[in-house]
Structure 1
Amino acid sequence: MNKTEVIARRILGWKLNRWDRWYDQEKENFIYDFKPEENLEHALFIVERLKGFGYTYSVIGKYEVCFNDVCDNGKTLAQAITNAAFSLADNSTIDEGWL
């Protein structure tokens, strides 16, 4: 799985419906062309979901963010959010019982 897939599945709890769209069962809607590294609006879906899980989101500098003590950076804010979320999800620090 790539970074986007890990985030969509493990953090957001979405299911891949087709090659170009995800399905959010909670909100019962489709998300087309999910690209959180390129689209700040998509990256903010991640922030809101993690806040709902109790994570604290903070911006350190221009393009560095933290979710609690997991921090990462990028060339843009959207990329920094995506990188930090991936670090969090890829290291299995998210309680999978949430999903």
Structure 2
Amino acid sequence: MNKTEAIARRILGWKLNRWDRWFDFENRKFIPVSDFQPDKNLDHAMLIVKKLEQFGYTFTKSGDSEVRFNHVGGAGANLAEAITDAAYSIADTSSLPDGWV
């Protein structure tokens, strides 16, 4: 499972509807896999921040390339990559079911 897939499943709670699209149950809409690129698109990365804040995580950033969600940090070439990196660390180590980080 790659970073984007782990985040979509375990943090956002999306389900792969077909090989090429996610289904967002909360908003009742389909999202093409190619259209969700949180490491390249800051708006997509901020969806992750919003969801993790709903789960009780506190988001802090240090400049444009480092972030933290509580005690979990991430870094990247830009803010979107840093958010994706930190979120993946949370999603990858979580033993909770998808959508319940």
TM-score norm. by structure 1 comes to 0.90
| Corresponding residue for residue 54 of structure 2 | 52
Alpha-carbon distance between aligned partners in 2 of 1:88 and 1:17, rounded to the nearest angstrom: 24
TM alignment of 1:65-84, pairs within 5 A: 65-84=67-86
TM alignment of 1:1-99, pairs within 5 A: 1-32=1-32, 33-92=35-94, 95-96=96-97, 98=100
Shift of 1:31: 1.9
Q: Which runs of 4+ in 1 moved over 6 A?
A: none
Greater RCO, 1 or 2 (C-alpha within 8 Å, sep 6+): 2
Shift of 1:19: 3.0
User: Identity, % of aligned pairs?
Assistant: 60
Unaligned runs of 5+ in 2: none
What amino acid does structure 2 have at the position aligned with 1:60? S
TM-score norm. by structure 2 comes to 0.88
Alpha-carbon distance between aligned partners in 2 of 1:18 and 1:80, rounded to the nearest angstrom: 28
Shift of 1:91: 1.4
Unaligned runs of 5+ in 1: none
RMSD: 1.7
Residues 41-96 of structure 1: per-residue CA shift (max 9 Å, x gap):
11111000000001000001221000001001000110000000001111126x43
Give 3-state SS (helix, strand or coil) of 1:98's partner: coil
Give 3-state SS (helix, strand or coil) of 2:26's partner: coil
Shift of 1:2: 0.6
